[in-house]
Amino acid sequence: MSLNDLTLQIEDMQERVTQLHKQTNSSSSHLQQLEVMMTALAELGFAIDELQLANQQLQAKNEELAIAHQTIAAERQRYQQLFEEAPDAYLVTDTLGVIVEANSAAASLLGSSPRYLPRRPLANFVPKEEREFFRTQLSQLSRGEGIFEWEVNFSPPKQPPVFTLVRVAVVRNSRDTNISFRWLIRDISQRKQAEEALRKLSQTEREKTTQLELALTELQRTQEKLILNEKMASLGQLMAGVAHEINNPVGFIYANIAPATEYTNDLLHLIELYQQHYPHPVAEIAQQLEIINPDFITEDFPKLLESMKIGAERIIQIVVSLRNFSRVNEAECKRVDIHEGIDNTLLILQHRLKQQPHRPEIQVIKEYGQLPQVECYPGQLNQVFMNLLCNAINALDELNKEHSLEEMKTYNYTIYICTEVNEKNSVAIRIADNGSGMSKEVQQKIFDPFFTTKSVGQGTGLGLSISYQIVVEKHSGKLQCISDLGQGTEFVISLPICQRKLP
């Protein structure tokens, strides 16, 4: 029975009760009963009205529900379509990584049909050697830890491997328990290839740049070496030539001094005998004796010969030094006395150390230690001493540019040369001057080839760069500079006593 029928019946009963009420006036108890019935029937009518209203509302809700249901179905279809047709691979797995759902992009990425993917563990598509790591990631995801995005290398059957970036979202139920994972898998093989190509390209570029830099450095070195070789060769040849030319005549002079002394002594002795036995010679001889003053000759001539001997000995010493210095025939590494090399160099520089119109003589203070013979290329090392000593003299010459001659008259122009044995089987040679010194900026560049503070034509700027090369590269030693502007300069050469591996 519908609500409407019920309402009609109740209205009918109400009618009949009203009729009964009109006909029955006999007893009051009957009347009371009828009034109770009429009240009950009236309330029943109200209840049915409310019920009818509720029914209408229910029907409206039902209609709304039906519309919502249709919308959800349409949404689901749309989602399914999106899921299916998405260009990226989408997967749903359970928390153990077993595939529940996969779109066609995922299927083609994994080299399988979408129908066969469900129930297969996703880990099966990861190469064996990377599976362990993949499973660790999965278990971390289940615990809600770990990263949600990482790179995975998939190797689908019968297909080349695919480099992907996976992004995983954890799906939780209302009790906050993980129920599944949603995977977005993006193929980044092309990006990886491009990155790799770029990396290789920049690596090649870097290598090329390094090669170019090396080639440039090598070129500079070769240039320096060429200049050095040329310098050394021409200097050496010049020195050797001059030494050879001087050697012979000075040899005659020196060799003749001894017989000349003997002859002179004989002649002087003869004059003395004549004077003893003929105390009154003839007038002409007496006059001549007066002029030449034999007593003075007797006294002065041996001195004269002695100084000639010393002079000749000095020339011979210089000739030896010149030959030693140039060492044209000694290209090999050998054990030598370092002090001999320094002394030879000083001897050659003697003329520069002497008093000059602009300054007094430069004092050379030597503090030589007990050095063993040092294994080295002696000719090249002499070149280093020459460069350092020349620089020291130049720095002392510079002083009068900043001070007046008067001021500098009392100044002690000094070069200190000190040698000692270091621990660790090496020797140290210190060459210091109390000259102009250097600023920090100049010090940073002194070993650069062609760096010079001298005016054009005064210096090549190669002295120290060549010295550095000789000490550090040729002899595995060290060349340090300690200096301050206005405080003088000290160069320290450290050389191993034995050359282990000769370059």
Ligand X SMILES: Nc1ncnc2c1ncn2[C@@H]1O[C@H](COP(=O)(O)OP(=O)(O)OP(=O)(O)O)[C@@H](O)[C@H]1O
Which residues bind to ligand X, rule: CB under 6 A?
Answer: 387, 391-392, 395, 433, 435-438, 442, 446, 451-454, 459-465, 489
Cα 422 to Cα 428: distance, rounded to the nearest angstrom: 6
Residue numbers 75-104 binding Mg ion by CB under 5 A: none
Cα 83 to Cα 107: distance, rounded to the nearest angstrom: 12
Residue placing its CB nearer to Mg ion in the complex, 220 or 298: 220
Residue placing its CB nearer to ligand X in the complex, 184 or 472: 472
Minimum distance, C-beta of residue 374 to ligand X, in the bound complex (Å): 23
Dihedral sign, CA of 195, 197, 201, 207?
positive
452 binds, among ligand X, Mg ion, none (CB under 5 to 8 A by kind): ligand X
Binding mask 457-486 for Mg ion (x = CB under 5 A): ------x-----------------------
Residue placing its CB nearer to Mg ion in the complex, 341 or 463: 463
Could you tell me how far CA 81 lies from the centroid of its own chain?
Answer: 56
Minimum distance, C-beta of residue 402 to ligand X, in the bound complex (Å): 13
> Exposed, middle or buried, 157 (CB in 10 Å: 0-12/13-18/19+)?
exposed
- The number of residues that bind Mg ion (CB under 5 A) is 2
179: which residues sit within 8 A by CB, 6+ positions away? 94, 95, 171, 172, 173
Identify which of 326, 330, 321, 338 has the alpha carbon closest to the alpha carbon of residue 431: 338
Bridge partners for 432 per DSSP: 416, 490
Residue placing its CB nearer to ligand X in the complex, 137 or 465: 465
Cβ atoms within 10 Å of 485's Cβ, excluding its own: 14
State in Å, rounded, how far the first CA of the chain is from the last one.
118
Minimum distance, C-beta of residue 461 to ligand X, in the bound complex (Å): 4
454 binds, among ligand X, Mg ion, none (CB under 5 to 8 A by kind): ligand X
153 binds, among Mg ion, ligand X, none (CB under 5 to 8 A by kind): none
Minimum distance, C-beta of residue 217 to Mg ion, in the bound complex (Å): 22
Task: Considering only the stretches 130-138, 388-396, 481-489, 491-499, report the one whose residues sit in contact with Mg ion under the rule CB under 5 A.
Answer: 388-396
Instruction: Give the 3-state DSSP-derived string for 52-111, with helices as H, strands as E and coil as C.
Output: HHHHHHHHHHHHHHHHHHHHHHHHHHHHHHHHHHCCCEEEEECCCCEEEEECHHHHHHCC
Cα 321 to Cα 378: distance, rounded to the nearest angstrom: 13
Q: Does 391 bind Mg ion (CB under 5 A)?
A: yes
Minimum distance, C-beta of residue 453 to ligand X, in the bound complex (Å): 3
Minimum distance, C-beta of residue 227 to ligand X, in the bound complex (Å): 9
Minimum distance, C-beta of residue 479 to ligand X, in the bound complex (Å): 11
Instruction: List residues near Mg ion by CB under 5 A.
Output: 391, 463
